[in-house]
Amino acid sequence: MRRAAALLVFAACGAACAAEPPSPFGPPARIALGDSRQPEAVAAGDFDRDGHVDLVVGSEGAADVTVLLGDGHGGFRVGRSFPAGPHPTEIFVADFDHDGLPDLAIANHETSTVTILLGDGKGGFRPGPGSPLSVRSTPHPHTIDGCDANGDGNLDLVIDSWGENRLTLLLGDGKGGFQAPGTPIEVGRKPYRNLKLRDVDGDGRCDIVAPSYGSGVVTVLRGDGHGGFRAGDPIPAGPAPFTVDVADLNRDGKPDLAFSNYSGQLTDPSDDAITFLLGDGKGGFRPGPRIPTGGAPFQLAAGDIDGDGYADVATADYGGSDLTVALGGPDGLAPTRTFRVALPSKPQRVLLVDVNGDGRADAVVLSPEAHAVLVLLAKS
């Protein structure tokens, strides 16, 4: 039974809220990374083949990724760190060379490069062929994701080039290498700040979901399975859609979209919200109600926090030192199923992933100012 029914809920998440319901998470466990590391990117995978979820964290300052090895119960041990290029801002995890081991593709903010690291299955990584890759990205990549775009059985990568209203496709060779600088994909409006590659129209081919921060829209580019993508009409996604995730919010078996709306200015909370669009499984979407958040929802992630089969979402509210959690239901998200989770330091990123194997998504939070990772286990 949904825990929200027993919670003191409220109609909006604004400052006027008189009381907060109990958190769906336990207290945060802090993992210190050292004063030289300001964590800004995180992804999950089993990097040492022990069957437990591990984390990899990209840090500005140290320009590296640090492996956090999971014990299967929600605890982590700090492993080794590996050079990852300047300002690793987003990480995509997948097997690029068909050896059954997870590898990393890292978008390097402030330079037009992508760093490829191939995993050894023991918690270690080595540079991939030609890494770092000089890529077509103006001014530099902010985001990266992957899929088999051309149907050859090899994973490919897509990054943004928002300064020229385009994305860039990097075709993989199945050996850990990618064709750089890449092939441009026309979007028609600035694709900033991140993107997702998923099959949103049910044809078995990966599509691209690309928010346009300055235009208040999202563009869905449908893949043809041969490496080509065609942009559809822009879909309203609320003011300043900053980040996006794809998940089934209403448990109808069709992918939905959720966005964090953020002006980019801590002093301007007017855009701060979650916007969600319910999918019809054919590439069409209809909007749900706007969900208020804490201040400056810098990033959004989706996952099933309460284990009821509905995807939930959380935003990292950098301006308010908390998470906003919105629980999914038959109607998607709703303000009455939305509440805040206080944190001891400002969050910049959040990842929802089950780190202890109980079937519920836990929250992994990055706090650059604290030089730390926070892990919050979902309550049973």
Write down the pLDDT at residue 336. Answer: 94
pLDDT category at 189 given cuts 50, 70, 90 is confident
Task: Look up residue 354 and give its two tokens.
Answer: 């089950």
Write down the pLDDT at residue 228. Answer: 97
Plot region of 181 (φ>0 → left; ψ -120 to 50 → alpha; else → beta): alpha
Calpha distance 113→115 (Å, rounded) = 7
DSSP 129: T
Write down the pLDDT at residue 380. Answer: 87
Per-residue pLDDT at 364 exceeds 60? yes
Mean pLDDT across the stretch 206-216? 95
Q: What is the pLDDT of residues 321-354, one digit of tens each?
A: 999 999 999 999 999 999 999 999 999 999 999 9
pLDDT category at 142 given cuts 50, 70, 90 is very high
Calpha distance 363→265 (Å, rounded) = 25
- Which residues make Cβ contacts (< 8 Å) with residue 228, sequence separation at least 6? none
Per-residue pLDDT at 13 exceeds 60? no
Calpha distance 125→117 (Å, rounded) = 6
The beta strands (E) that lie in 203-253 are given as 207-212, 217-223, 229-231, 235-236, 241-247
Q: What is the pLDDT of residues 68-113, one digit of tens each?
A: 999 999 999 999 999 999 999 999 999 999 999 999 999 999 999 9
Q: What is the pLDDT of residues 277-332, one digit of tens each?
A: 999 999 999 999 999 999 999 999 999 999 999 999 999 999 989 999 999 999 99
Write down the pLDDT at residue 20. Answer: 54
Mean pLDDT across the stretch 254-270? 94
Write down the pLDDT at residue 21. Answer: 66
Task: Write down the mean pLDDT value for the chain.
Answer: 94
Q: What is the model's pTM?
A: 0.93
Per-residue pLDDT at 19 exceeds 90? no
Q: Parallel, antiparallel, or unpaired: how do β-strands 156-161 and 207-212 relate?
A: unpaired
